[in-house]
Structure 1
C-alpha cells in the first residue's frame, strides 16, 4: 500500500470527508475527552490549546491525565482510558498497533537543524573517571525507561555510529534515571534540553553530544489515538487535531519565531511544567525545553519508517508489522512519503 499525503488520502475518501480538514468547522459537540501528557515543554501544544480555549472552540471538553513514561500512555490509549496523546514511538506502542489497538495520526516534537534539541549526557562520576566522550562509552551503561523506549532507540543509533557496545539499563521513570545519573549508577543518557542543561550547569552530568548529530530529522514524538477513534470518530479526531494545531502555532510564535509574547507563553506553560518552582526559577528551564513541534501535526513518515525498522532489527517487535498498521495517513501531511 502506498502512503499518500493527507490531501490525496482525503480526496480518495470522498468530498464530504475531504471538506472537513483541520481548518474546517469543528464536528465535535462538547465531547468529553481525556488527553495524555508529560509535564514537558514539548507537550505545550496541548496546554496552550486548553488554556486559550482552542479545544473548547473545537467542541471538546478536555481533561489531562499525566504520565511519567511513553509506554504506559500507549496502554492507556489502547484500553480507552485516554483518547489522545503525544508520545514517542516505543516497542509497546508498535505492538499495540499490530494488535489493531492504536494508530499514529500525526507528528509533534521533531529534531530540527538550527533549533537546540536533545542531548547525550555522561554522569559526573563517569566523566571524572575519564569517560569524557561518547567514543569512551564502550561496554558502559545507558539509562532507559524501558527496553524498546525512545531512549533505547537514541542510544542504539549513537552506539552504532560510534562503533561501541552499550548495556541498556531500564529504570522505568525519568525521575529514577536522574537519580541514577547523579549517583553515578549509570554512565550515559539522552534527554530533552530543559532537563539536560540546568543539571549540566550544576555539574550533575556533562553534555557531550547532540541527538540530531546521530538521528537527523528525528520525529521524536507522535500524536496517536485508539484505532477505534481513528476509524470511527473522525469528527472528534479532526477536532482534536485542529485545537492542538492552533496551540502549536501559538507556542512556535512565542518560543521559536519571536513573533508573539514569550513571557505570556512562559506563564501559561508554567501552570503545567516545573510547577514546584517559582516562576523566575522555572522560566530558564521552560525556555531550554523549546524544540520544534510540527505545524499542522505533520508527520515525518520517513523517520517513523526508520524507527520501525530499528525496532524490528532489534527483535523488539514482529518483523511482519507494516507501516500501514502503525500509521493512519489520512489526517495530516506526511513528510518524506
Structure 2
C-alpha cells in the first residue's frame, strides 16, 4: 500500500475532465480553521483535480468516525483528541493526513480569556492569580480545553486541582463569563473577539504563550476509502486543499484579501457578520499542510495521564504519503 502512490503514472495525476468528477464527502465542523477547504472549493481547486467536494456539517468527532469507517464519508476535519485514539483502538482505519490550522506567533487565533472585572480590579495579574477561580472546560474531558488549561496553569505553578472546573459547552461560554458562572476559559475565534466585544472579558494571553510551538489544532483525517481503496484520489484531495491553503495565505497578505476570504467563510460557516471579520484574528494554515507530530504526542501524553491509559505513539496515527506526494507535485510554496 505504501508504494501505491508511487505507482500512479504522471498522466493519472492530471486533472480529470468535468464528466469524470468524483464527489468527495468531507465531514466538517464549519469553523474558520477549515478555511483552506472552503477556499479550495470556491476557487475551483477541487474541480481542477477532477473532484467535487460535498461538505457535511457536524459530521466529525464521535459522530464522524462511524461514517468514516463505513465509507459514508471520505474525510473529515476536527481536532486531535481521544476520539481518534479510541477509534483506532477499536480497529477503525483512520489517519491524520494534513494539518489545517496551527498556532504560531503572529497568528494567534486562540486566547486565554479572562473576565474583564478580574483584570480591571487587579485580581488577576499573573498565571498564579488564577488559583481558586472557576475555569470553563468543554465536556467531555479530556479534550483540548483541559489540555490547554493544564499548560497555562502550570505557568503559575498550578494544576487543575487548584481551580474550580465548570463544564460549559463552547456555545455557552460567553454567557457563562458574562454571568460570572466562570472566570476564565480558552476560547478560539470568533468567540474570543465576540466575548471582548460584549465587554465581559479580555484576551488576556495569546495561545502561543502556552501551547507548544506550531501545535496543529485542526486536522484533516482520511478513512479506508482514501487510505486503501483509492489512494490516488486522496492525493488529489490533498493537492486541492494545499492549493486552497496557499491561496488563503496569499490573499491575507493583500489589502483586499481579508474581505475576499471573509466572503468565502460567510458562505460556509455560521460566522455571518462581515464587520466581525475586520476585528478577529484569522487562523494560520500551513502552506504545505504540515502536521506537528510532536504536538500531537504531547497531547496524547496528557490524554493518557488523564485517563490512566498507556500513551499512544502519535506517529502511528499519521499518514503523510498523500501530503508529501501533493507537495512534490505542486512544488515549493512561493512566499
Identify the TM-score tier after normalising by the shorter chain.
Answer: 0.7 to 0.9
The correspondence for 1:263, drawn from 259, 266, 270, is 259
Give distance in 2, aligned partners of 1:17 and 1:300. Answer: 28
Paired residue for 1:226? 223
Paired residue for 2:323? 332
Give distance in 1, aligned partners of 2:11 and 2:114. Answer: 48
Give unpaired runs (5+ residues) of structure 1: 1-8
Q: 2:187 aligned with 1:195, yes or no?
A: no
Paired residue for 1:310? 302
Give distance in 2, aligned partners of 1:145 and 1:79. Answer: 28
Change in 2 beyond 3 A, CA 1:17/1:186: farther
Deviation at 1:122, TM superposition (A): 1.4
The correspondence for 1:163, drawn from 157, 161, 164, is 157
Paired residue for 1:64? 55
Change in 2 beyond 3 A, CA 1:137/1:331: same
Paired residue for 1:6? none
Structure 2 counterparts to residues 210-289 of structure 1, below 5 A: 210-215=206-211, 216-255=213-252, 257-258=253-254, 261-277=257-273, 279=274, 281-285=275-279, 288-289=280-281
Paired residue for 2:107? 115
Give unpaired runs (5+ residues) of structure 2: 326-335
The correspondence for 1:179, drawn from 152, 165, 175, is 175
Q: 2:134 aligned with 1:141, yes or no?
A: yes
- Contact map agreement 2:25 2:55 (CA 8 A) in 1: yes
The correspondence for 2:286, drawn from 290, 294, 297, is 294
Paired residue for 2:328? none
Change in 2 beyond 3 A, CA 1:333/1:16: closer
Give distance in 2, aligned partners of 1:20 and 1:144. Answer: 50
SS of the residue aligned with 1:271?
helix
Deviation at 1:241, TM superposition (A): 0.9
Q: 2:199 aligned with 1:206, yes or no?
A: no
Change in 2 beyond 3 A, CA 1:62/1:298: same
1:161-217: per-residue Cα shift (whole Å, max 9, x none)?
A: 32213344333x421223222222122211224321242143121221122111122
TM-score by length of 2: 0.82
Change in 2 beyond 3 A, CA 1:27/1:227: farther
Deviation at 1:85, TM superposition (A): 2.0
- Contact map agreement 2:34 2:218 (CA 8 A) in 1: no
The correspondence for 2:148, drawn from 137, 151, 154, is 154
Give distance in 2, aligned partners of 1:124 and 1:305. Answer: 34
The correspondence for 1:41, drawn from 20, 32, 36, is 32
Q: How many corresponding residue pairs?
A: 316
- Contact map agreement 2:98 2:289 (CA 8 A) in 1: yes
- Contact map agreement 2:101 2:283 (CA 8 A) in 1: yes
SS of the residue aligned with 1:87?
coil
Deviation at 1:17, TM superposition (A): 4.6
SS of the residue aligned with 2:134?
strand
- Contact map agreement 1:69 1:174 (CA 8 A) in 2: no
- Contact map agreement 1:116 1:291 (CA 8 A) in 2: yes
Deviation at 1:109, TM superposition (A): 0.6
TM-score by length of 1: 0.81
Deviation at 1:314, TM superposition (A): 1.9
Deviation at 1:290, TM superposition (A): 0.9
Root mean square deviation, CA, Å: 3.1
Paired residue for 1:25? 14
